Structure 1
Amino acid sequence: MAAAKATTVLDPPKWILGWFIISSFIVMWDTGYILGRPHTFKGGKWHFLWQPYDLYGDVDLIYSKRFYELHNGFTLAQGLMNIVETILNFSYVYLAAYQSNARLRAIAPVIGFTAAIATFWKTVLYWAQDWASGPKGWGYTGHNTAYNFIVIFFLPNFQWILFPAAIAFSLGRTMSQSLIQAAGLAGPAGGTRSRTRKSSTPTTSRRKSVKAQ
């Protein structure tokens, strides 16, 4: 039973693996655009690989050539964080899905949880700096129509908040269950096991014994 429970805890949910793999390739593409500037801009020698960013750079100005030439460093800093995020993502996938060593596989939830939290807060920070920029806020995206803001900026980027939050919750619960089991606190119905011992001699019996004496 214990072995079966351990296997269940370590089995990675397919949706988590799918997100880490797909999102990592998208993030790698994004990082290539960032680190390859100015050659990835329109007219650059590598532009053909990143043509969709012509539109996105008009919607999210922090990705535009204009802000690159103003030496805005946030996008580059984000790109460097993307590298760390991608390494963590693929590390989780390898440990959770392909590693046969049980000890190494057991740390996969920790790696995945760390990656999800890092991605979540990186994206929150990305939105927060946009909201806090400019005289009226939303300095990089506030010029858009509602349609462009929602379809091109909000919906795609919100996935990097929604999925990491769900992954952090799922893996956090997995780690909590493992810690509870390791501490010997898991009861038969999934509750906690009491550490207090019941007295082997009922109180009433002791009272009768005293009276008899």
Structure 2
Amino acid sequence: MVTTRASSSRAASVEPSFASSLPPATPSAKRIARSKSNKSSSSSASSAFSHAPTTATLVWLAVSLPLVIWDTGYVLLRPLSMPGGSLHWPVWAPYKLYGEVDHIYGWKAFHAGNGFTSAQGLLNAIETLMYLWYLAAWLFSSKTEGGARVLSGRGGARATLFGYAAAVMTLSKTVLYWANEYYSGFDNIGHNPLNDLILLWIIPNGAWLVGPTYMIWSIGGDLINSLNSTSRSKRD
């Protein structure tokens, strides 16, 4: 009897100490629930992004991209693409006139070794690839929501950001192009009569100020709205 009571008392003393050494279950369960909640909220926030290019954006890209590819080919293939070159006719024949209007595209800048023309042509190529990525994502990876094709999710957000960045690059480069003429005393275009300058230089180059500015405003608005909704969901 004494032995039985002693062993039972030892067992009773071990059980509380063993139980006290176990970690509490409730905080761990709370952490798991909180982690699942955070994951679900972050995934829902990322999937909430959506962007649909406006009709004006698509029209601008449909018009501008072929022209930029044409222009980039002329610039990067000089002198073969210039008057007298083996590639000049018929693809780049109109550049004979434009090279006389804007000497940065003509023989004057080429013989002077002016690197600005080729540098902006290289940037044109990079911008074009970014625009094509944006368009390809919309054409092949978009979803239909409310009758419209939209870019959504992380991949859609990435493509939209590329389109926005390309528009910023285009606008910045065009402003630099105009500023280069201003600070050089209009060295490359100052010889033109005013009517020719307006028709053949100001209007064509002005379009590359308006189009990218609109894209920045349009795409940037969707990006800002997405950031606002994400920040609100995190606060909630």
What pairs up with 1:114-193 in 2 under 5 angstroms? 114-133=165-184, 137-184=185-232
The structure with higher relative contact order (CA 8 Å, sep 6+) is 2
Which residue in the other structure is 2:63 paired with?
22
C-alpha contact 2:48 2:153 (8 A) present in aligned 1 = no
1:107: Cα distance to partner?
Answer: 2.2
1:102: Cα distance to partner?
Answer: 3.7
1:6: Cα distance to partner?
Answer: 4.7
Structure 1 residue 95 and structure 2 residue 137: aligned? yes
Which residue in the other structure is 1:203 paired with?
none
User: Which structure has greater helix proportion?
Assistant: 2
- Comparing 155-164 with 92-101, which one deviates more in the overlay? 92-101
Q: Which structure is larger by alpha-carbon Rg, 1 or 2?
A: 2
Query: Structure 1: where are the runs of 5+ without partners?
Result: 186-192, 196-213
Aligned counterpart for 1:58 among listed residues 86, 90, 100: 100
C-alpha contact 1:130 1:139 (8 A) present in aligned 2 = yes
- Comparing 94-103 with 73-82, which one deviates more in the overlay? 94-103
Which residue in the other structure is 1:205 paired with?
none
The one-character-per-residue Cα deviations of 1:25-84 (angstroms, maximum 9, x if unpaired) are: 111110111111111111111111101111111111111112201111100101111110
After TM superposition, the runs of 4+ consecutive aligned structure 1 residues lying more than 4 A away are none
Please give the TM-score of this superposition, normalised by the length of structure 1.
0.79
C-alpha contact 1:10 1:96 (8 A) present in aligned 2 = no
* % same residue: 39
Quote the Cα distance in structure 1 between the aligned partners of 2:82 and 2:116: 17
1:18: Cα distance to partner?
Answer: 2.6
C-alpha contact 1:21 1:93 (8 A) present in aligned 2 = no
C-alpha contact 1:21 1:89 (8 A) present in aligned 2 = no
User: Which structure has greater strand proportion?
Assistant: 2
C-alpha contact 1:24 1:86 (8 A) present in aligned 2 = yes
RMSD of the alignment, in Å?
A: 2.3
Matched residues, number: 182
Query: Structure 2: where are the runs of 5+ without partners?
Result: 1-43, 143-151
Aligned counterpart for 1:108 among listed residues 159, 168, 172: 159
